[in-house]
Amino acid sequence: MIADNLPALLVVLPLLGAPLCLLLNRGTAAWLVATLVAWLVLAISIALLWQVRGGDALHYAFGNWQPPWGIDYVVDRLAAYVLLIVAAIGAVVMAYARRSVAAEIEPAQQPLFYTLMLLCLAGLLGITITGDAFNLFVLLEISSLSTYALVSLGRDRRALTAAYQYLIMGTIGATFYIIGVGLLYMLTGTLNMADIASRLAPVAGTNTVHTAFAFITVGLALKLAMFPLHLWLPNAYAFAPSVVTAFLAATATKVALYAMIRFIYSVFGGAFTFSQMHAELLVLPLAAAGAFVGSVVAVFQHGLKRMLAYSSVAQIGYMLIGLGAMSVTGLTAALLHLFNHALMKGALFLAVGALVLRMGTTRISALSGIAKQMPWTMAAFVIGGLSLIGVPATAGFVSKWYLILAVLENGWWPLVVLVVLTSLIAVVYVWRVIEVAYFEERPADAPPVREAPLSLLLPTWLLVLANLYFGIETGLTVGLAGEIATDLFGAGSGALPLEAAP
């Protein structure tokens, strides 16, 4: 019974857990509920991935209303892969949250905090699993609205303006998306993604479809912070509470990218996107510019969180380069980086959260000599940083390797140079932190600082070890990402015949 309803439980559990946290009205009790739910969700997502590992998609008709009329939850390998990332990061971050939240959030607001975290988790998981274009919008708004509120809980008053800015840009993005879905509904009369895809072929040459495609991709590009639509991201990451930053950086933009991949390959089809709309002509230059600008700007930041946030803009650029390469290898690289970047940024932001707990600041200049006092935290930061740079034997190396392979396949030498160059810039900004923390003396008048508590170190090191594990044992992620990419190309290539525009 339970086994049949796993796809629904995945979203329903956190949705039910959220009001429970609110009713308990105690910080610790709410934390226990949230952590329990997050780990249950992780178990469910592993079970789902196990069920669909062979390649057969799992369908769940909500309320037994059959698709295309009812809402259809679809778990294929791509969805299960992203679900696993979101659920794993959610579980680790939630386990980490108690001490960090106790230090950064008012006691009265702590139950609300966990309520919002669970709502956000439910929304992100829902976006990933749903097969219905309008349902995706609703879940997108559930996760977005809770994210805005979470960002505004930061201690600095600039968190409020950051949340406001994010709200305006996020709502514009979501509204663009819903305009696009509306236009598709006008043409096809359906909201089920698979059904839209099957009915799109006769009308693929019309201006309405072109407009719908533009609205949906721009809307999702706002959500995934594609350069130059990334303006909300640095402030939101810099001023949100540490736990929120770690969770968002590792999941929110990834899920938006997943939605984009889903629309490009499963709804519009790769042939329409690239041969007819030539989306790559827009995506590639912007992705390359994002990778470069994000890396360069990161070097000049004074705040640790802000630096990592700009680095995220650059990493999103890498994923979009993979997407724009229009090949199985490119898509594999994008999916790999989606997974690996979640691991590395999760680990880095959790380490930063430990620093915030003990130091109360994220200014890089305040970290001088901190490696002696907090050796484990800084070691975690260094390994996360190495993974960010793409040093061999870390997860970051694997995805950059595939990215370079994909770009080479197309003979795009300038992009190879760009990926290598931006990786070298990453060395610069990671080194700045290492230099201050390891090679400068702690000022004599600085207050003594202890190592972060075990409840913060354990989750951080779990992600750090995952970075190393997936850097050495690449079979699992590379194999899965490759199979997913092949699946998507198989489904997308023949679906839409190419027509000349009228």
Partner 1 sequence: MDWLGQYNYYVVFFLMMTGFYVVVARGNLVKKIVGLNIFQSSVFLLYISMAKVEHGTAPIVLADGTVYSNPLPHVLILTAIVVGVATTALGLALVVRIKEAYGTVEEDEIHDQDEPA
CA atoms within 13 A on the CB side of 235: 18
* Selected binder of partner 1 within 73, 137, 227, 318 (CB under 8 A): 137
For the chain, how big is the Rg over CA atoms in Å?
22
**Beta carbon of residue 164, minimum distance to partner 1 (angstroms, whole number):** 5
Q: At residue 224, what is the residue type?
A: L
**Beta carbon of residue 214, minimum distance to partner 1 (angstroms, whole number):** 14
* Selected binder of partner 1 within 39, 134, 292, 469 (CB under 8 A): 134
Of 208 and 455, which CB lies nearer to partner 1 in the complex structure?
A: 208
Could you say whether residue 9 binds partner 1 (CB under 8 A)?
A: no
How does DSSP classify residue 215? H
Of 164 and 489, which CB lies nearer to partner 1 in the complex structure?
A: 164
**Contacting residues for 197 by C-beta, under 8 A, at least 6 apart:** 266, 267, 268, 269, 495
Site track for partner 1 across 470-499, x = CB under 8 A:
------------------------------
**Contacting residues for 404 by C-beta, under 8 A, at least 6 apart:** 416, 419, 420
- DSSP H or E segment with residue 60: strand 58-61
**Beta carbon of residue 167, minimum distance to partner 1 (angstroms, whole number):** 5
**Beta carbon of residue 172, minimum distance to partner 1 (angstroms, whole number):** 7
d(CA 16, CA 23): 11
Of 39 and 185, which CB lies nearer to partner 1 in the complex structure?
A: 185
Could you say whether residue 96 binds partner 1 (CB under 8 A)?
A: no
> Both tokens of residue 352?
């930063």
Taking CA atoms, 293 is separated from 287, 298, 315, 348, 496, in Å, by 10, 8, 11, 21, 36
Could you say whether residue 182 binds partner 1 (CB under 8 A)?
A: yes
Of 191 and 307, which CB lies nearer to partner 1 in the complex structure?
A: 191
d(CA 137, CA 9): 19
Identify residues 386-405 at the interface with partner 1 (CB under 8 A): none
Identify residues 411-470 at the interface with partner 1 (CB under 8 A): none
* Segment interacting with partner 1, rule: CB under 8 A, options 38-46, 182-190, 418-426, 467-475: 182-190
**Beta carbon of residue 242, minimum distance to partner 1 (angstroms, whole number):** 20
Identify residues 139-178 at the interface with partner 1 (CB under 8 A): 141, 145, 148-149, 152, 157-158, 160-161, 163-164, 167-168, 171-172, 175, 178
> Are the beta carbons of 184 and 479 closer than 8 angstroms?
no
Of 81 and 137, which CB lies nearer to partner 1 in the complex structure?
A: 137
Of 88 and 191, which CB lies nearer to partner 1 in the complex structure?
A: 191
> Are the beta carbons of 277 and 206 closer than 8 angstroms?
no
Q: With CB under 8 A as the rule, give the number of residues binding partner 1.
A: 25
d(CA 272, CA 196): 14
* Segment interacting with partner 1, rule: CB under 8 A, options 87-95, 132-140, 254-262, 449-457: 132-140
**Beta carbon of residue 232, minimum distance to partner 1 (angstroms, whole number):** 13
Taking CA atoms, 91 is separated from 32, 334, 350, 456, in Å, by 12, 24, 13, 13
Other Cβ atoms within 10 Å of 61 Cβ, number: 16
**Beta carbon of residue 156, minimum distance to partner 1 (angstroms, whole number):** 9
**Beta carbon of residue 125, minimum distance to partner 1 (angstroms, whole number):** 18
**Beta carbon of residue 386, minimum distance to partner 1 (angstroms, whole number):** 33
**Contacting residues for 475 by C-beta, under 8 A, at least 6 apart:** none
> Both tokens of residue 219?
């809307």
Identify residues 183-212 at the interface with partner 1 (CB under 8 A): 185-186, 191
d(CA 99, CA 453): 8
How does DSSP classify residue 364? G
**Beta carbon of residue 185, minimum distance to partner 1 (angstroms, whole number):** 7
d(CA 465, CA 347): 9
Q: Which residues bind partner 1 (CB under 8 A)?
A: 134, 137-138, 141, 145, 148-149, 152, 157-158, 160-161, 163-164, 167-168, 171-172, 175, 178-179, 182, 185-186, 191
